Amino acid sequence: MIGIILNDNAYEQDIRELLMAFFPGRSFVHEMLPGLELCLIGNVEEDHQWFRMQVVFWGEYSHLVWGNTPAEQRELDHFDEPIAVDYENRTDTKNKIKRRLYVILKALTGRSLPWGSLTGIRPAKIALTLLEDGMSREEIHIHMQEKYFTSAEKARLCVEIAGRERELLSLLPKAKKAEGYSLYVGIPFCPTTCLYCSFTSYPIEKWTKRVGEYLSALFQEFDYVAMRMGRHPSAVYVGGGTPTSLTAEQLKQLMDRLTCTFDCGGAVEFTVEAGRPDSITREKLAVLKSYGVTRISINPQTMNQKTLDLIGRRHTVEDVKDRFCMAREMGFENINMDLIVGLPQEDAEDVKKTMDAVKALAPDSLTVHSLAIKRAARLNIMREVYKDYKITGTSEIIDMTARYAREMGLEPYYLYRQKNMAGNFENVGYASPGKACIYNILIMEEQQTIVACGAGSASKRVYPDGRIERCENVKDVALYIEKIDEMIERKRKLLTDF
């Protein structure tokens, strides 16, 4: 248990997230209690010009081993000096505080983090911004190591991805990127809820009678968005949940209304997450094909049957192969596959087995996730039940997946991070040339307004000056149906004068 005691909570989240990265799975309290491993005490002085930080250690951390390098020693020699606070430049102040805390925690624990002091979900956005500001790739590489303590490997990955994102975004007409929008459609139903999942998803079997009501509410949102934003989104992404958990008839109803309301054929891409192999049928794939879907995902997460059974998936490894081949036979030329590294009880050999199986299928893109256990996941809520489950995430395993992806002719084109990730790593999307998902880049690098429809979805308006505002739909399906007028009103306020 770790204490965080602050007289001003402006930087509490930044401090807590960095502590979480060094001490995964720990709980946090905001008072001095017996049994704490350590306690961070931070005070913003009355004139709001200085932040004073003190870290108190107990137990095995009572004897702090100071820095091993001259740079670390210089930092630590002055760790109790106040940090200049500039409320007009929160980002700079936040980075100063996290930098100081990172050096202390690195010396304390004897280990470094691959992403250094960075805890945000969009590290590539930093590199992309610096590229657009005219900084060279080598300068950005050095900057990220010196300012954020990122490893050379992660800095290099970030710069490579930022360069590729810049090239891909240049293919999108400037007017479409700056003045247009992309559309997200959320279908919050799944065949089952996986052990690690905390997304807005409901077992379809329990909601069969209300799917029609949900679609009716969703279509009301469609009508408003098309009226407000126009019929021409840059990209369309139907996700979830698992959209193909709908029946073929319901899926046809969704696709018919979606394509009639919006000009999906004029979008640079039209993605539907077919997702769970046990939800895919030839009839459903035919529906998607007939409505012009250009990209689908078939997501095994792992190709080890014992793991699939453990995490609550109803499909088999052979089902994955069968549905993938079926989609290829039906003419789908851009198929993505999602994998998760760090699933319970899996080791490097299990991941290698998965990568060999995926390589044999040769998908057009591959997204490798590091397991992130959220608060709402069963794996976290029922911690006592699953306490003996081994979660393995190592740099060697991550490097192996990257090596396999490149051997398959796939290049990294976007990445993002989440809280509580196994090994404090990242999620990376790889794609063969010409098959990268533009929507993924737009939403991750916040390059365009995204309007999202459906329960649990979040819309994000990107202003010309870089300012960003959000509005969210309620997660609960029943509440979404009941309060659809309120959801539309939220969008009206966000998108006024777009």
What local confidence, expressed as pLDDT, does residue 31 receive? 86
User: What average pLDDT does range 326-330 have in this prediction?
Assistant: 97
Q: Give the global pTM.
A: 0.87
Residue 466 confidence (pLDDT) above 50: yes
| Number of separate domains in the chain | 3
Give the C-alpha separation, 371 to 387, whole Å. 16
Give the strand pairing for 2-6 and 28-29: parallel
Q: Positive or negative, the Cα torsion across 289, 291, 294, 298? A: negative
Q: What is the pLDDT of residues 435-446, one digit of tens each?
A: 999 999 999 889
Residues 180 and 157 in one domain: no
User: What average pLDDT does range 450-455 have in this prediction?
Assistant: 96
What local confidence, expressed as pLDDT, does residue 368 receive? 93
Residues 191 and 165 in one domain: no
What local confidence, expressed as pLDDT, does residue 393 receive? 59
Residues 145 and 259 in one domain: no
User: What average pLDDT does range 92-98 have in this prediction?
Assistant: 90
Find the domain containing 426 and state its range.
175-492
**Distance, C-alpha 464 to centroid of its chain:** 24
Residue 76 confidence (pLDDT) above 90: no
64, 85, 109 - which closes a domain: 109
SS3 246: coil
User: What average pLDDT does range 30-38 have in this prediction?
Assistant: 84
Residues 140 and 183 in one domain: no
Residue 61 confidence (pLDDT) above 70: no
Q: What is the pLDDT of residues 159-203, one digit of tens each?
A: 999 999 999 988 776 645 667 899 999 999 987 765 555 555 677
39: β partners: 3, 56
Give the number of other CB atoms < 10 A from CB of residue 310: 18
The answer to the question of residue 383 being in a domain is yes
Q: Which of 392, 390, 403 lies closest to 425, judged by CA?
A: 392
Residues 257 and 395 in one domain: yes
Residues 186 and 321 in one domain: yes
The answer to the question of residue 116 being in a domain is no
Place of tokens 């009226």: 227
Stronger pLDDT, 377 or 392, i.e. the higher one: 392
The CATH number of whichever domain residue 254 belongs to comes to 3.80.30.20
Helix (H) or strand (E) holding 51: strand 50-57
Residues 319 and 416 in one domain: yes
What local confidence, expressed as pLDDT, does residue 379 receive? 42
What local confidence, expressed as pLDDT, does residue 498 receive? 76
Contact 155, 144 (CB under 8 A): yes
Residues 200 and 132 in one domain: no
Residues 187 and 270 in one domain: yes
Residues 161 and 184 in one domain: no
Residues 412 and 292 in one domain: yes
What local confidence, expressed as pLDDT, does residue 62 receive? 53
498: β partners: none
What local confidence, expressed as pLDDT, does residue 355 receive? 96
Residues 394 and 249 in one domain: yes
